[in-house]
């Protein structure tokens, strides 16, 4: 048990440090790499919580695909140094919203401490076993699943439409 | 008791890493000899019998070479990049079984011939493969060199694009086996190899892996004529050797994955199942079959390098996105339909050939009409 706590604390430290490093590094490539390490640490957290499928999906999708594209764009545009100053005033509204979210999250967490996990047993089994998970996805959670797929499709079509328009407009 | 388990894992991991590393050394020799044979040359045959000591000579030379770190590079990432490239290549083979369970207990433990048999083995492979891009991208960027940068960007675009087709071919194997566990996939191929059930996906897998490991004809990131040596232009000595090592270990690992997913894993030919040659009767035949199958696939990779010229970069990307990805999606639908109706496996084989033929016709048509247009313009 103490080994697990030690592992958790180490990983938590790495996660927090890389998150801060991502925020404060002047070099965008290093910021992106910090984020990659952060994603991988979070993936290990999922592993510790007995959710290997989500863990590896996290690595594949976020660390493997999205961040590679981020790096690609950073290198392509050559914006390695951030020189612009922050416009603090434009950050007030997002800041307030983020603070509300944070308070809400903290409240939920503190209110549930000691109450035990609210998830049913089937959910835990589904997280550990991919075939159980897909059964749940295609039966109990079919509507949200399909809605998400449509959302992703819309995003994809939107991206294609945006790039097409730019080409036609410039020429 | 617990310590024996740790010891077993340590020994198995050590053996796997050692096999991969010696495999890398002798794969370079194998490739040079086979290439030489195909080009009517002799190849390295001086060091040792038939040049078998050549890899050792190469290693000694590379170790004693001066290691240059150019002044203008990002030092940290420049040193880190080769390591980041090698590690995924070595760990990716951890989920692959290379033999059945040993039938007699050793020190009271049943020994299995794999390191980890997780129920999401296929997903593990995709995850590690997607991490592998970083090393090359970082090497390209940290070198602070235009050619290296171009090589790194080419490789990231290429690997991300071909990962789609690669992932979809994993999906077919998962569909056919009904499991993402590597041992289940091998067991499901007891009767018929998945390469026979879904031949088109096996071909797509092999093409995508060539792009994934940056092998000819998809070796864009290091196209000598255009980019001097691409992402490893600035590297020398052992750091260069690490990139070299990663490429060849990846070749071995990806051949092992191909064998596991499509060519029956460590199992014998299906018609040898009841004979003495079956792994069910002689467990030690498993690793031997695995080795032989991997060597055949590696020979194919070298053969392709000797035969095909490098294709143009825009065509490479167009081929990945406009041919391989749609074809793979259609093939998945075909396989899923056949499985849903519970039809016999040969229906799947014939049904899969239909979209393939259509794809070949469409590509052929687009090429000929372009050619004719060019002729009529001139």
Domain ranges of chain B: 2-314
At B53, list the tokens: 């000591």
Contact B163 A29 (CB under 8 A): no
Q: What is the pLDDT of residue A170?
A: 47
Using only C-alpha atoms, chain B has a radius of gyration, in whole angstroms, of 22
Q: What is the pLDDT of residue B370?
A: 66
- pLDDT tens for each residue of B19-52: 888 888 888 888 888 888 888 888 787 777 877 8
The average pLDDT across B232-246 equals: 80
The whole-angstrom separation of Cα B14 and Cα A29 is: 35
Q: Which residues of B touch A (CB under 8 A)?
A: 77, 118-120, 123-124, 126-127, 129-131, 133-134, 137-138, 140-141, 149, 152-153, 156-157, 160, 163, 179-180
Determine contact: A22 vs chain B, CB below 8 A: no
Contact B153 A76 (CB under 8 A): yes
CA distances from B299 to B33, B90, B194, B200, B294 (A): 11, 21, 21, 20, 9
Q: When comparing pLDDT for B89 and B276, which is higher?
A: B89
Contact B131 A59 (CB under 8 A): yes
Tell me which DSSP letter residue B145 carries.
-
User: Do B303 and B210 contact (CB within 8 A), yes or no?
Assistant: no
Gap from A128 CA to chain B (nearest CA, Å):
9
Burial of B52 (0-12, 13-18, 19+ CB in 10 A): middle
> What sign has the CA pseudo-torsion B11, B16, B20, B22?
positive
- pLDDT tens for each residue of B302-338: 888 888 888 888 888 888 888 888 888 888 888 888 8
Domains and CATH numbers, chain A: 1-80 (1.20.120.1200)
Please report which confidence band the pLDDT of residue B378 belongs to, taking 50, 70 and 90 as the band edges: low
- pLDDT tens for each residue of B134-152: 888 888 888 877 888 888 8
Average pLDDT of chain A is 80
Instruction: List the single best residue of A47, A125, A130 to mutate versus B (max B Cβ within 10 A).
Output: A130
The length of chain A is: 171
Q: Taking CB atoms and an 8 Å cutoff, what residues of chain B touch A68?
A: 130, 133-134, 137, 156, 160
Q: What is the pLDDT of residue A102?
A: 92
Nearest partner of B192 among B139, B136, B267, B121, judged by Cα: B267
Contact B130 A68 (CB under 8 A): yes
Check pLDDT > 80 for residue A129. Answer: no
> What sign has the CA pseudo-torsion B82, B84, B86, B89?
negative
Q: Which residue is it, tokens 């071995």?
A: B252
The average pLDDT across B223-231 equals: 70
Model confidence, pTM: 0.82
Contact A57 B123 (CB under 8 A): yes
Q: Taking CB atoms and an 8 Å cutoff, what residues of chain B touch A76?
A: 153
Nearest partner of B57 among B32, B84, B20, B40, judged by Cα: B32
Nearest partner of A55 among B123, B166, B160, judged by Cα: B123
Instruction: List the single best residue of B78, B130, B181 to mutate versus A (max A Cβ within 10 A).
Output: B130
């Amino acid at each position: 048990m103490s080994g697990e706590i030690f592992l958790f604390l180490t990983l938590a430290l790495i996660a927090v440090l890389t998150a801060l490093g991502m925020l404060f590094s002047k070099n965008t490539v290093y910021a992106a790499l910090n984020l990659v390490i952060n994603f991988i640490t979070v993936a290990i957290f999922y592993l510790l919580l007995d959710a290997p499928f989500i863990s590896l999906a996290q690595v594949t999708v976020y660390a493997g695909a999205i961040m590679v594209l981020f790096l690609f764009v950073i290198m392509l545009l050559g914006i390695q140094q951030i020189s612009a100053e922050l416009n603090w005033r434009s950050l007030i509204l997002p800041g307030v919203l983020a603070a509300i979210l944070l308070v809400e999250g903290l409240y939920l967490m503190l209110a549930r401490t000691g109450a035990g996990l609210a998830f049913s047993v089937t959910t835990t089994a589904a997280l550990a076993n991919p075939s159980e998970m897909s059964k749940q996805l295609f039966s109990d959670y079919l509507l949200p699943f399909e809605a998400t797929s449509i959302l992703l499709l819309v995003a994809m079509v939107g991206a294609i439409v945006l790039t097409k328009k730019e080409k036609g407009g410039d020429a | 008791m617990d310590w024996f388990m740790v010891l077993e894992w340590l020994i198995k991991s050590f053996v796997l890493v050692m096999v991969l590393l010696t495999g890398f050394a002798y794969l370079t020799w194998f490739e040079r000899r086979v290439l030489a044979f195909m080009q009517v040359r002799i190849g390295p045959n001086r060091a040792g019998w038939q040049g078998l000591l050549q890899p050792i000579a190469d290693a000694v030379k590379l170790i004693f070479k001066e290691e240059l770190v150019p002044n203008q590079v990002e030092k940290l990432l420049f040193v880190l990049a080769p390591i980041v490239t090698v590690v995924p290549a070595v760990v990716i083979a951890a989920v692959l079984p290379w033999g059945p369970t040993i039938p007699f207990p050793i020190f009271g433990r049943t020994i299995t011939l794999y390191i980890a048999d997780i129920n999401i083995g296929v997903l593990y492979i995709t995850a590690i493969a997607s991490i592998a891009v970083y090393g090359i991208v970082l090497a390209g960027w940290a070198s602070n060199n235009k050619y290296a940068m171009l090589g790194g960007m080419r490789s990231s675009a290429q690997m991300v694009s071909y990962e789609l087709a690669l992932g979809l071919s994993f999906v077919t194997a998962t569909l056919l086996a009904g499991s993402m566990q590597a041992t289940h996939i091998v067991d499901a191929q007891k009767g018929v190899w998945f390469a026979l059930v879904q031949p088109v996906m096996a071909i797509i897998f092999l093409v995508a892996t060539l792009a994934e490991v940056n092998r000819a004809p998809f070796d864009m990131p290091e196209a000598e004529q255009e980019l001097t040596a691409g992402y490893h232009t600035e590297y020398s000595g052992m750091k260069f050797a690490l990139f070299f090592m990663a490429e060849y270990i990846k070749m071995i690992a990806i051949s092992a994955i191909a064998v596991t997913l499509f060519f029956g894993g460590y199992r014998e030919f299906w018609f040898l199942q009841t004979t003495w040659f079956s792994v069910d009767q002689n467990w030690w035949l498993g690793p031997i079959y695995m080795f032989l199958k991997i060597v055949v696939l590696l020979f194919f990779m070298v053969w392709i390098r000797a035969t095909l010229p490098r294709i143009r970069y825009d065509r490479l990307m167009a081929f990945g996105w406009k041919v391989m990805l749609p074809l793979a999606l259609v093939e998945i639908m075909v396989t899923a339909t056949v499985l849903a109706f519970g039809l016999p496996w040969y229906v799947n084989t014939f049904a899969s050939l239909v979209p393939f033929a259509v794809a070949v016709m469409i590509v052929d048509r687009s090429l000929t009409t372009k050619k004719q247009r060019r002729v009529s313009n001139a």
